Structure 1
Amino acid sequence: MCASVESSVRTQLDSLSSISMNVVYSNAIKMNFREFSTSYQRNGTAPVHQAASREKAMAIHDIVTAMIGAYQSASEINLYTMDGSCVEAGYWLKTTSVNLERLPWYSQVLALNGHKYITAPIVNRQLPAKGENQKSQKFISLVRLFLEPDGTPEGIVEVVQDCDRIFSLCSQLESQNPDSWVFIYNSRKELVYPYQSDSSYPNYYTMITQASSKDDKAGILNTGSSGKYLFAEQTIEGYDWTVILIKPKSAFNRSLSFFRITFFLIGALSILVTLFICFFISKRLTVPLEKLTAATGKITISRVLNEKKVNLTSADSRIKELSLLCESIRSMYEKLRFTSQEVLLSRSEETRAKFQAAQSLINPHFLYNCLTNISVMAEEEMNEDIVQMCQYLCDYFRYISSSRDMIVPLKEEIFYTECYLNCMQMRFHEGFSYTMDIATETEQFYIPKLIIQPIVENAFKYGFQISPPWQLSISSYAEHGRWYLKVEDNGGLLSEEKKNELLRLYENLDMDKEWNSLQIGNMGLKNVCLRLRLLYGAEAVFQIDCSSSKKTSFIVGGPVYQSREEYYEQHPEL
C-alpha cells in the first residue's frame, strides 16, 4: 500500500514537473510572454498596447490549454515577469500585477536558480476544487525560474494542481482501510497529507527516524500512551518526499482473527476425528495387547530365578502377528529361565571352588611348618613335648581338613587357633607368649574359616625377627554391624612405607589374575585378603596399623551373621 501511494504521488509530481519544463523550454510561450511583458508595461499609454498584450496573453493561454490537455493535468499555470506582470492560464485567462516579494515562495525560487520548488498545500478560493478537496480548496504549486541565455532570470512559471488530484489514491486507500492512515512529508519535512483538516497530527516522521535506523523501511513504532503501530516508509526519489503508512497493531491483529478462529475450528475438528478413528482402531488392539502386557509383566528376575515354574498367559488374539509375538515371548521366557539357572549354578560352583582352593592352600602350608617344628624338637630330644604337639596337630588337622563348611563360629576358629599357638609355645617356651581378648558377644558370629591362622603365621615369619620374648595378642569386637578381629605382635618391624605399599597392593588386586596364579608359598596375607573380598566384596575389612611403638596390628572384619542360614541367604552363590 505504501509503495502504491509513493508511485501514485510521484507520477503526479512528475507530471507537474514535466509541464513546468515544457513551459520553460517552449519558444512559442517565451516569445509571446516577452511581447506580453513589453505591451503590458505600456498598458496605460494607448489602447493599441492593451490589445497587443491581450492578444499575447490569449496566445499563451491557447498553448497552455493544449499543453495540459482536456483532462486538466494541471489546474492552472501562472507566468510571472520579474517586474510583477502575471498571466493566469488554464482554467481561465487572466492578467494581473502582483508584488513578487510578497509571495511566500519567491525568495526560495530565486535561490534555486531554475530548479523546481514545491509548495505546501495552500488555500486558493479562486480555483474550483474536486472531490474531497471541495471543502478545503487546497492546491500545491510547482514553481521554477526560466532564464535568459546568459543566465539572468527572465520570469517565473508556477504550475498549480488540485490536492485531491495529487493524493487521490491516499484518500481511496484510507476509505477502503479505515484503520490505516497515510502521512506524506515534503523535502522540508512539512506535512502535506492529510491536507483536509487543520488539526495537529503527531510528527510520525521524527518519531520513526528516532526509533529506527535509516535502512528500516518497516517496523513497529511504540508511541507510549497511544499504543503500538505498524509502519511502512517510502521515499519519493527526485523530490525527497516521504510517504508513511500507519496502522495500529491491534487492528492488524484483528484482521487475522477470522483466519485464526477458522484455523482453530478446523484443527479442533480434525483432532476430534483423528481421536475417534484412533480410539476405534486401538479398541480392536487393546484387549490382546493388555493380555500380552500382563504376560510380559510376569517376566521378572525373581520369577526367572524361582525354581517354581510360572506359566505365561496367552494373548488369544486374532491378529496373527500378535499371536506370534506372544508365543515368541513365552519361548524366550522358558529359555531365559533355563539359561539363568544354569549360569547361576555355574557361578555358584565357580565361587565355591575358588574359595575352597584358597582355603586348601593353608592346609599343606601349615603342615610343613608343624613338621619343621617337630623335627627341631626331636633334635633337641623334647619327646614329651612332641607327643603333646602331635595331639594339638591332630586336633587342628581335623579342623582344617574338613571342607564341608566355609564359615564357622568365631569361638571355634579361636579354639583351633589356640591349638596352633600352643604348639608354637611348646617350641619356644618362655620366648613366646600370647593373650586372647575375645568379646563374649562376638563368639557366635560366623566368620570365614582359617582367617586368623595365616596372619599368626605371618607374625612368626616376619614380625618376630627381633630378640625374644615375643608377644602376640588376639582380640575381637563389634561396631556398626561389623565384626573385627585384631592380631597384634611386638615385632614393630613394619614401616609406614611398607604398610602403604602392602595396602595399595591388596586394594588393586586383579581377582581373576590372582585366582589363576595361586601357589602354596608366600600367600598368607594375600590369601586372607582374597577370601574376604570374595565373601564380602566392598564390605570386607583389611587394615594394617603400625602407629604404636614396636607394635604391628592386622585388623580384618566383615558384616555380622548370626547363623549359616542367614549368611547363605545373603550369599546364594555359595
Structure 2
Amino acid sequence: MQNFVYLFALFFRGLTIYHVECTMRNNLIMIGTEKIHLIRKPRSIRSILFLTYSSIIVIGIVLLFVLFYLWSSNVLKTNASNSISELSSSLQNQLDLEVQKLDSVSVSIMYSNLITDRISAYETTKTDNLTSGSTEQSVRINTQSTDLYDILVALVGPSYPVQQVYLHLLSGVSIGVGFDNSQKKLDITSKPWFAALNDNRKMKVLTLSTSSNGSVSLNNNDVSLSLSRYFYDKYNAPVGIVEVKQNYNKVFSSFIQLAKDNPSLEKVFIYSTTGEVIFPYDSSEQDRQIVNHILHTSNNFSSDQRTYFSDPITKNKVLLTIKHSELTNWNVAVMISNKTFLAPLNKFTKLAIFVTLAILVFLIILSYFASKRITSPLSSLNRTIKSISLESLVSGPNVELNSGLNEWDRLNASFVKMNARLKDSFDQLLLSRTQELQAKMTALQSQMNPHFLYNSLATISAMAYEQLHEQIIIMCDNLSDMMRYIAADETSLVDIQTEVDYTEMYVTCMKLRYGDMLSYTIDLDASIQQVQIPKIMIQPLVENALKYGTKTSPPWVISVSGRIVGERWIIEVMDNGPGFDEQELSRFYAEVREIERNNVLPSLKLHGMGLLNIYIRLKLHYNNQMLFKIRNLPDRGAIVTIGGPLSSKR
C-alpha cells in the first residue's frame, strides 16, 4: 500500500510540474522600469478537457483501488493468519497424538489386573527367596519375571507403537520391554522425573532422556521422550512406576519436516510453562531468550494466542501463534516474519498497482483521443487561419471543415464568409501598397539622376578649367551613355554585370580627370554576374569612395569585389582614403533609425544622400534580408558592404 501511495504521489507531482510549466510558458513577463506586468495566455480547450477527464479518471481509479485494496488486503491477511493458526493447531494435534500413544500404553499397563497380580506374586516370591535362599524359590522368581515380561509384550502389542517400556518396581527392579529387553536393579530416585512424579502421584510426567549413561547427546537419535506415572496394586498402594519412551525424532517428526519444507518460517518452538525448550532439542541461547521473552510478554499460557511480536534478537516484527496442549501442558509457538507473512499481499499489491496503472494509462489515452476528437476541428480551423497569407486570401479556395459537429461547421461557415469579405479589402490594400512602394522606388531612383548629373557637370567644369579638351569630349560621350542607362525605364532590376559595366564607364571618366593618380580593380565572381539587383547600386558607392578618398595624397586606389556567400550576394567597395569620420557615421545611423522608426522618407536633396539612398532602396526591396555595413579599415581607408538574398519576394 505504501508503494502504491508513493507511485501516485509521483504521478500527481508530475501533473503539478507539467501544469506549472504550462502556466510559465503561457505567461509573458514584461519588465519595465517601475512595474512587472503579468499577462496570462489562455489555455487550450484540448488541455482543459484532457486534464478534466484525466483528473476524474485518476480520482475514480484511486478511490476504487483503495477500497478494493483495503478489502482484499484484509481478506488476504485474515486467510494467511488463519492458515498459520491452522498450521499451529495441526502441529499441536500431531504432538498430542504421539503423546497419546505413550499415555495409552501406560494406562493399559497401569490398569492391567494381570500385571498387578504378577507383580504381587513376583514381590512375594522374591521376599520368600530372600528368607529361604533355596534353588526352587529362584526358579519361581524367574518364572514370575518371565510371565510379567510376556504380559508386558502382549499389552504393548506386536507393532510396538512405542520404542521402549520400563516397569520400575519400588523394590529396585526394572523390567524392560522393547529395544532393551532386560531386567536389572535400578535406583528410581536417580531418575530426572522422580521428584516431579513423587510430588503428585496422580499425574503423569513428560521428560526428555538420553539412551545411555544419562548424558545429554546432541544427536536426536539418542534422545527419547519419556512418559512416567505411578501404578498401584489392587489395594491402591503404589508398587512401581511405568515409563514409556518414544524416539524424539518420531514424536516431533511433523515439526522437523515442517522446518525442512518451510524455511520461510522464522521459528517453531515447543516449550513448557516453566520455560524449558522441548523443541528443538539442540536449542541455542538465542532460542531460550526468545522463549523467555514470550513468557514475559504473554499473560495467559493456558489459552491460544495470535499476536504480533518483536523478535528480541533480530528486532524484526513477526506473527506469533501459540497453541496450548492440555494433554502435555506444553505450548506450541509458530513464528513467521512479517515480511514472509505479507509476501502474498506484497505480490498482490505489485500486481494490483501494475494493473491499475495499465488501466489508468489506457483510460488517460482514451481521454486524450476523446478530447482530440472534440477539438481537432478547432485545430484544423486554427491551422487554416494561421496559414492565411496574402496569396491564399486573394486566390486560395474555401476549405470545408466537415467535422460532423454542428457548432464547428457553423463557425467555419462564418469564417468562410468573413474571408470572402476580406478578399475585396485586401485587393484594394494590395493595389494601394504596390502603388506606394513603386512611388517610393521611383522617387529614390529619380533622386539619383540629378545627383549624378550634378557631380558629372562639376567634373567637366574642373576638366575645362584644366583645358583637358580631348578628355572632355570622351567624358561627354560616356556621360551620354550613362544618362541613357539611368533614364531607361524598362525595369528597375538589372544584372550585376550590367551594373558593373555602368560603374566602369564612370570610373573611366574619373581617370580622364585624375590620370595615373587613380587606379581601380574589379573582381567579380562568374557566379554572381547574372544576379538581379536594383539599378544604380554600385556606382554611387564608387563615387562616394572617390569623393572621400581624394582628400588624401595620391595614389588613390578603389577596389570593387563581388561574390556569393551561402544564399546571399555580396558587393564590397574599398578605398585607401582617410575613412569615415565618426561624427558622420553617427549622423548617418541616426537618420537610418529615424527612417525605420517613422517609416517616412527624408526630403529630397542633392548633397549627402548617396549612401542613405542606397540603404533605403535596399530596405524597400529586401526588407530585413538586406545587408548594409560601413567600417573603417585598421590602417587607412574604408569599406562599404551591401548584399541581399539571391531570390527575394517584394
TM interval, shorter chain, is: 0.3 to 0.5
Q: TM-score, normalised by structure 1?
A: 0.46
Which protein is richer in helix relative to its size?
Answer: 2
Q: TM-score, normalised by structure 2?
A: 0.41
